[in-house]
Structure 1
Amino acid sequence: MPTTFATIRELQHALNTGETTAVALTELALARIADPNGQGATAFINVYADQALAAARASDILRQAGLARSALEGIPISIKDLFDYKGDVTRGASALLKEAPAATENATLVQRLLEAGAVIIGRTNMTEFAFSGLGINPHYGTPMSPWDRETGRIPGGSSSGAGVSVADGMAVAAIGTDTGGSIRIPSAFCGITGFKPTAERISANGVMPLSHSLDSSGPLALSVECCALVDAVLSNEPEPILEALDPSHLRLLMPTNYVFNHADDTVLTQFHAAVAKLKAQGVQIDEIEIPELDQLPHINRLGGFVCAEAWFYHKEFIEQHESLYDPRVGSRILRGKEQGAADYIELQQVRELWIAQMESLLAPYDGLLLPTTPVIPPTIAELADEDAYFRANGLILRNPAIINFLNGCALSLPCHSAQSAPVGLMLAAPAYHDAHLLNVGHTIESILS
């Protein structure tokens, strides 16, 4: 397994005591990206070596003067190729926008990272225009999951390079986006932690959209606390201090339907072993059927918000330059043409009612508990077949997409045993329950580890 960095808190201690420097951390990250035997060439679309080293030198000078700006001071962080970074092109990992004009301003969340002292190491690869949960990209290559690299397995998408950058120690944390699981899927498939916050908490200014009704931006990192520290900077909120909650006071809801359909044996075994650990520590887990989940395929039968809104954003481009799109992405965008105004308005109204029902159901609980994905990472080779690609994509997006439709927040935590295939355990809650969910996740993480 590739070497990762330490956690943000551990690195801050090392920086404060002089055991390391921001320049040393940045040089290590850059060396790992440049390693010809590593995944840097496919995990990153652009590397900001000069800017990162300059930022790291400035960070070290400020720290020597006692002026660390945040918990991210001097910490190498990667950003997905959907975020504007002044002077570079935001391509969405597409061929279409390869020669587009460079951004003239930073995305709001990128600016917040820079002002917090983070070192932006580079921009990461992804599924073209963020429209798939698999992470395969025909234009810039596909980075591999750290597990079973000899075979070559998908990293999860769409934030594929983000997940691999953290898992391989090319960044301490990564910033991704999540429209139907695109932070949590690569976190699960790369054996790390990912946090999809309530979308409205973090500015979408300067972020290339896929579906404005479902998009959110957030961190992938090594721990819940790392995610919480990055989230605080992205949302311009005070630095959090996570609490270890009494497990016997936690009550979680676990669906018995929908989320386990077509699950493989590895996921079932590892997930249920994790659930048994939680129960042994006193966590109350109510296992019930949730009929609202079974309604989702019918609700989204015409392609849902993502197809309709992707068509809105891409209509002119794809009508003029369809050949430049990955056909597996372009065909899904074109589904948006099938929806009329009445379909879209009905979808909005149905969603409001569905969210109200789910929020009522979840009100007595500290969170919803389910597998992040029902399967372990498929091989890249097997998904060359178009039918296999679309089957896998639908199945892998299914569970995390529940929370985007809910407009909620969610964590994916690694729950697999050492040396086994990566499996993610998802904890989720309704909108604006982020702070409590992070404390719950911090507590669950300590039990599982």
Structure 2
Amino acid sequence: MSDLHELTVAQLAKKLQAREVSAVETARHFLARGVQHDKLGAYLDVNEAVTLAQAQAADARIASGDASPLLGVPVAHKDIFVTKDFASTAGSKMLENYRSPFDATVVAKLSDAGAVTLGKLNCDEFAMGSSNENSAYKPVLNPWDTSRIPGGSSGGSAVAVAARLAPAATGTDTGGSIRQPAAFCGITGIKPTYGRASRYGMIAFASSLDQAGPMARTAEDCALLLSQMCGPDPDRDSTSLDVPAEDFTRTLGDSIEGLRIGVPKEFFSEGLSVDVRSAIASALKEYEKLGAKLVDITLPRTELSIPVYYIIAPAEASSNLSRFDGVKFGHRTKAHGDLIEMYKKTRAEAFGDEVKRRIMIGAYVLSHGYYDAYYLQAQKIRRMIADDFQQAFKVCDVIAGPVAPTVAWKIGEKSDDPVANYLADIFTLPGSLAGLPGMSIPCGFGAGNMPVGMQLLGNYCAESKLLNAAHRFQQATDFHLRTPEGF
């Protein structure tokens, strides 16, 4: 079938179960599309033999009567998850050609469910970035306009889904790295509550913020994947929640009559571009047509989320990345004198500029004399930001607003101004700091005919409510079905 890439995960799963198409045929189709559109830079590693072997195993399970919902469905993984059959580089020269002896829990869960791995997807180095220009190997190009960035750090994942190179992909979200590229590429992505999905096997950036989530074309597809990805992992991830896995598709289609949607005034400030504001306003009107009620709310510490995040995340990064010293694994400089020189030269050679910048910031705010002034104060404000959300959820069920202040910008436009990149995360950072579930859904188009995403935020473990709200919106609109020209 030549149109397999046009199917959603749910549609493809039905055809595989009905044996209208085989998992092997499906895998070959998507592998070929990856080669055809290699110029986008989405993939960093593929292993056709492994992919086809997994597909053959899926076909055998289907033939035996196994009806697992993702059986035979191809999925690609962000290269921040370690995988034993594919290179795991985190987009960095530090881990070039590194092979893990095990699979990350999220990867293993999807494999156990019968999903077929297509390969590893490009990302900003160690997931540090908002544009996917920080990959050590190649930039990722937005299929809606290849002169523009796809968002980051899960840019490769967003592009693979948007350009129909994979039906779905995994991503990670530390400060918005699922939601922002999903918005910029016109797809759907969800970051679950912190701790819902195991971090075991995710190459760490900021451990109190990192969270895995799915990226796909529809909320229904994300619900299918998230149902398999979530669940406690106490033996391997001490931060995983003791909350059982659930079927997030169970409530899809429920009425949203009377759903209270909070609209924070801080999300519609002067920094929001006119085109994005207009798309979000139209989407909120659509929700009113569906029976939802808009409620004005305030999140007064929204602006503080940027300085708080860029103290806490670099501090944790400086600790996590200290393991990359050229001793046990990863890159090691070839010419060095003593041990200290080896450390210095190894890191200087293999870390990119943004990673070095965040390590230095983190080391600074944790140093003697600055810990109390910066890091400790940031943690206090982080708690206040979380409290602001709890006050808001007393009067609303979900919170809606923009994902980013603008549509995707031109490649190189903000390369020399890291602060401008950081400011683009203003709407995604508060939810991340609070550990809340959040998602992005396509809701229109802005300047340059580029996609605009609407952000939905929910209270802790309210993923089902978010996914259903997104699903009902997508039943009434077609933004999630539109494809970039030529793909």
The alignment's TM-score, normalised by the length of structure 2, stands at 0.85
CA separation in 1, counterparts of 2:13 and 2:298?
A: 44
Q: Which residue of 2 aligns with 1:67?
A: 66
User: CA contact under 8 A between 1:33 and 1:41: conserved in structure 2?
Assistant: no
CA separation in 1, counterparts of 2:128 and 2:100?
A: 22
Is the counterpart of residue 197 in structure 1 residue 192 in structure 2? Answer: yes
Unaligned 5+ segments in structure 1 are none
Q: Which residue of 2 aligns with 1:416?
A: 444
Task: Provide the secondary structure at the position in 2 that maps to 1:175.
Answer: strand
User: CA contact under 8 A between 1:127 and 1:136: conserved in structure 2?
Assistant: yes
Is the counterpart of residue 174 in structure 1 residue 172 in structure 2? Answer: no
* Alignment CA distance shift 1:141-1:297 (3 Å): closer
CA separation in 2, counterparts of 1:413 and 1:251?
A: 18
**Cα offset, 1:269, TM superposition:** 1.9
Q: Which residue of 2 aligns with 1:383?
A: 414
Q: Which residue of 2 aligns with 1:404?
A: 432
CA separation in 1, counterparts of 2:38 and 2:287?
A: 35
Q: Which residue of 1 aligns with 2:91?
A: 93
CA separation in 2, counterparts of 1:297 and 1:241?
A: 36
- Of residues 331, 352, 359 in structure 1, which corresponds to 2:357? 331
**Cα offset, 1:3, TM superposition:** 9.0
Q: Which residue of 1 aligns with 2:474?
A: 445
After superposition, residues 358-369 of structure 1 pair within 5 angstroms as 358-369=389-400
- Of residues 381, 394, 401 in structure 2, which corresponds to 1:350? 381
**Cα offset, 1:13, TM superposition:** 1.7
Task: Provide the secondary structure at the position in 2 that maps to 1:220.
Answer: strand
CA separation in 2, counterparts of 1:291 and 1:199?
A: 22
CA separation in 1, counterparts of 2:136 and 2:391?
A: 44
User: CA contact under 8 A between 1:131 and 1:329: conserved in structure 2?
Assistant: yes
* Alignment CA distance shift 1:98-1:41 (3 Å): farther
CA separation in 2, counterparts of 1:417 and 1:346?
A: 39
- Of residues 113, 116, 120 in structure 2, which corresponds to 1:116? 113
* Alignment CA distance shift 1:142-1:78 (3 Å): same
Q: Deviations over 1:137-172 (max 9, x none)?
A: 3522112112123xx110110011111111112111
Task: Provide the secondary structure at the position in 2 that maps to 1:273.
Answer: helix
- Greater Cα offset, 400-409 or 80-89: 80-89
User: CA contact under 8 A between 2:286 and 2:473: conserved in structure 1?
Assistant: no
**Cα offset, 1:49, TM superposition:** 1.1
CA separation in 1, counterparts of 2:104 and 2:306?
A: 34
User: CA contact under 8 A between 1:261 and 1:374: conserved in structure 2?
Assistant: no
* Alignment CA distance shift 1:366-1:40 (3 Å): farther
After superposition, residues 16-415 of structure 1 pair within 5 angstroms as 16-35=17-36, 38-39=37-38, 42-68=41-67, 70-100=68-98, 102-137=99-134, 139-149=136-146, 152-236=147-231, 237-239=245-247, 240-297=249-306, 299-300=308-309, 303-315=310-322, 317=324, 320=344, 321-340=347-366, 341-342=371-372, 343-384=374-415, 386-387=416-417, 390-415=418-443
**Cα offset, 1:186, TM superposition:** 1.1
Counterpart amino acid of 2:61? L
Q: Deviations over 1:323-369 (max 9, x none)?
A: 43221332122111221343433433332343123212213312110
CA separation in 1, counterparts of 2:303 and 2:94?
A: 37
User: CA contact under 8 A between 2:40 and 2:141: conserved in structure 1?
Assistant: no
Task: Provide the secondary structure at the position in 1 that maps to 2:94.
Answer: coil
How many pairs are equivalent? Answer: 437
Is the counterpart of residue 433 in structure 1 residue 468 in structure 2? Answer: no
CA separation in 1, counterparts of 2:391 and 2:45?
A: 45
**Cα offset, 1:298, TM superposition:** 5.2
Counterpart amino acid of 1:243? L
Counterpart amino acid of 1:407? G
Unaligned 5+ segments in structure 2 are 232-244, 326-342, 479-487
- Greater Cα offset, 227-236 or 321-330: 321-330
- Greater Cα offset, 229-238 or 205-214: 229-238
* Alignment CA distance shift 1:395-1:108 (3 Å): same
CA separation in 2, counterparts of 1:283 and 1:273?
A: 14
Task: Provide the secondary structure at the position in 2 that maps to 1:416.
Answer: strand
Task: Provide the secondary structure at the position in 2 that maps to 1:382.
Answer: coil
* Alignment CA distance shift 1:261-1:178 (3 Å): farther
Counterpart amino acid of 1:43? A
The alignment's TM-score, normalised by the length of structure 1, stands at 0.91
**Cα offset, 1:243, TM superposition:** 3.0
Q: Deviations over 1:93-139 (max 9, x none)?
A: 10111144x21111111111111000011000000110111111352
* Alignment CA distance shift 1:297-1:208 (3 Å): closer
**Cα offset, 1:254, TM superposition:** 0.7
- Greater Cα offset, 332-341 or 161-170: 332-341
CA separation in 1, counterparts of 2:70 and 2:400?
A: 30
**Cα offset, 1:316, TM superposition:** 6.0
**Cα offset, 1:17, TM superposition:** 2.4
**Cα offset, 1:39, TM superposition:** 3.6
**Cα offset, 1:259, TM superposition:** 4.9
Superposed CA RMSD in Å reads 2.2
- Greater Cα offset, 75-84 or 140-149: 140-149
CA separation in 1, counterparts of 2:317 and 2:379?
A: 16
